[in-house]
Chains A and B, each alone.
Chain A
């Protein structure tokens, strides 16, 4: 959800935005951004407490309100300073770091957060399995204790960045005799450890954005366990809280999304227009524009300190609209829509809605209502958490996991 987690650590009341600007200027004076090597620069920035000011002192921050980070980022941007390349480590910065901060040991925080922030260690997330997607708590990857280490066997799937990751967030089953939510344990795992095998997972669009990860007798030191034994579900929820509805930093301009591509085609190709498509285009254009207004309104509410539940619906709207618009686009293109850019297997950095052809957009958008929470699960969340409707009757909550049908 849209909470400003970890934002208000104590002890920062004295430092103002101006103080931070001064700190950054002093830092820049000591580390010339034009001549300092990138890694050296970002390591020094972390050590100076200017990485993420809302994190504690000694861990890249100063225990300040999260809002002040903007001030620091703006100063570094103006100075054209080298960055920690956050776009390469979205899961690390967005999900792993808050989880480690909330549940990691002091030793883990010291060991993991610095290389995470500097981008020296990319993180990925080993959660979903072939038999556990929406029902994540049904996962079957087993971790068995062996002295001061754990031996892990299982298979994970839909893992972004696994092929470039040094570490992973891993949730495993440690006690099959407990009900499904209670027998789980969470780890930070070294992706270079023996027994970890990453394979590309080819998807409907032809290429492989994601991976399958096979874990065969992987030994994980108990020192890399995050949270208590049996606390894995709670820790996983903390991770996923940071996943849903990642709002962008700014509102797109009008026609800035997929609708803009179709609107441009419509304007440039009168020969493709039909009355039925015109009606659909106007309907989709209006919905896309209103959804843009709703995102901006949500941003305004958050900025004025009136956080509402509206964000829970944003992904539902995005997924549906992106599918309808890309479906429309392919039909509008007609004969051209029968051709496809490239079915060959390759490894792109991620989804690319604007640099590829219409057929790719049509297919890739089908993943939007599955990834990051299916639309059906999101409707349950809206119904139960926003509208307060009663939960579904559950037949699996209190039985031992090993006795559930699968």
Chain B
């Protein structure tokens, strides 16, 4: 078997004009019938691949974020904070917002933001995942921001005009003065049905824009540090509502969470006053777009987490001695770490592809996000597990960071759709229909 081992693989390169993301959604939903047209379409997508490397500006952004996090989110401080009443580091979040503009990264410049793309946002997410930083980047700067931008673009002039509530909130988000959370369970799969657990009270009187919301949402991420909640609520029609946390009808109760570096909250609303920013399909679309972007950026966080877990573990097995030699010289250890490294390389490609597809509004974005969340979930969990195991006894202690990497990895793998749910979503997207029920 001497000679180049790579198997020569030839294939027809098919091209297809780009279709809009909406058209692609429809096509994907109609697939699954085993048609050749569906198969051709599945093969055509992802033909012209976008740039998946890191640009010089992205590398600079990474250095800036990493430097702030090294200074203000060192491991002992992160661990200590998980046992205080303030599990979110609002001071650190203000610094990241003010000094680096992390809060308004995705907000267009005319609306007061940095006008950056998901590529840059993914780099920030990687660094936050690497440090397990307890800041609401994902919930506020990604998920809530995308929901607001989508609502502002689709809503009526009254709800979403330049002086409307969505535009006002976006300006506050971009400035880092307002933190917003979308009130849906963190485990929710993007595009899945929204549980109708909050109801809209009587329609507003003439001269008042306020609705009243009553109900509960369990297990919401990044709600604890939020000033404002975006609440999906059932009424006629279904809508997305802005609720100030300071309202007397709002309770945001901390949950003892598997991952205390991103502590969840149970939200209850008792006739809380609310302003509608989107109604009907526009609200549904805003929520779905927000959660899809959230899943892609969470995948980037998972990539950063996995990369750091690998790095720390490699450094440890180089210096830890047993049987008269570094434990990292044993093949039982080396091969596991080599496999983890390979897994991180694959995860990075998937994560960068998803970020690029979102940034370019590519028709393949849904496939890319499903691939990224599935791949990065598995990789981060593997990295967390290997970090504990390959550190031996110290890896099972409270004082060592390994357990917190494992917990965040496991929680993240459930959040915004498990790997299994994302893979299952590919069935319709790439025309691999499930088995008939027998």
Residues of A within 8 A of B (CB): 87, 90-91, 94-95, 124-125, 127-128, 158-161, 210, 243-248, 250-257, 260, 263-264, 266-268, 270, 273-275, 277-279, 281-283, 285-287, 289-291, 293-294, 296-297, 300-301, 304, 306, 310, 313, 315-318, 322, 350-351, 353-354, 367-368, 370-373, 376, 378-380, 382-384, 386-393
Contacts and interface: CB of A to CB of B under 8 A. Distances in A.
Contact of A297 (B9, B36, B52, B333): B52
Nearest to B423: A282
B353 A293 contact: yes
A296 B335 CA distance: 25
Contact of A273 (B4, B12, B349, B436): B436
B426 interface: yes
A253 B13 contact: yes
B346 A246 contact: no
A252 B329 contact: no
Interface in B400-438: 420, 423-424, 426-427, 430-436
B348 interface: yes
Interface stretch (B42-50, B160-168, B173-181, B235-243): B42-50
Given A267-B36, A270-B435, A372-B1, 6 more contacts: A279-B423, A281-B432, A290-B346, A313-B345, A372-B5, A372-B6
B196 interface: no
Given A376-B335, A379-B338, A371 B47 contact: no
Interface string B54-75: 0000000000000000000000
A293 B423 contact: no
Contacts of B331: 376, 379-380, 392
Interface of B: 1-14, 34, 36, 38-39, 42-47, 49, 51-53, 314, 317-318, 325-326, 328-331, 333-335, 337-339, 341-342, 345-350, 352-353, 367, 370-371, 374-375, 420, 423-424, 426-427, 430-436
A192 B3 CA distance: 21
B359 to A, nearest CB: 15
Contact of B52 (A254, A267, A300, A316): A300
Given A316-B342, A389-B318, A286 B49 contact: no
Contacts of B9: 248, 252, 256-257, 353-354
A282 B432 contact: yes
B2 A160 contact: yes
Contacts of B432: 263, 266-267, 278, 281-282, 285
Interface centre among B14, B38, B46 (most CB of A within 10 A): B46
Contacts of B10: 354
Given A297-B352, A315-B5, A390 B335 contact: no
B250 to A, nearest CB: 40
Contacts of B367: 289
A376 B395 CA distance: 27
A243 B2 CA distance: 9
A161 B348 contact: no
B26 to A, nearest CB: 20
17 contacts: A90-B3, A159-B2, A160-B2, A246-B4, A254-B42, A254-B43, A255-B42, A255-B43, A263-B430, A270-B433, A278-B434, A297-B353, A318-B6, A373-B5, A379-B331, A389-B337, A390-B328
A351 B51 CA distance: 33
Contacts of B334: 379-380, 383-384, 387, 389, 392
A29 B98 CA distance: 66
Contacts of B339: 316, 379
A317 B348 CA distance: 14
B342 A273 contact: no
A350 B1 CA distance: 10
Contact of B374 (A125, A286, A376): A286
A256 B8 CA distance: 11
Contacts of A296: 49, 52, 349
A257 to B, nearest CB: 6
A267 B430 CA distance: 11
Nearest to A247: B6
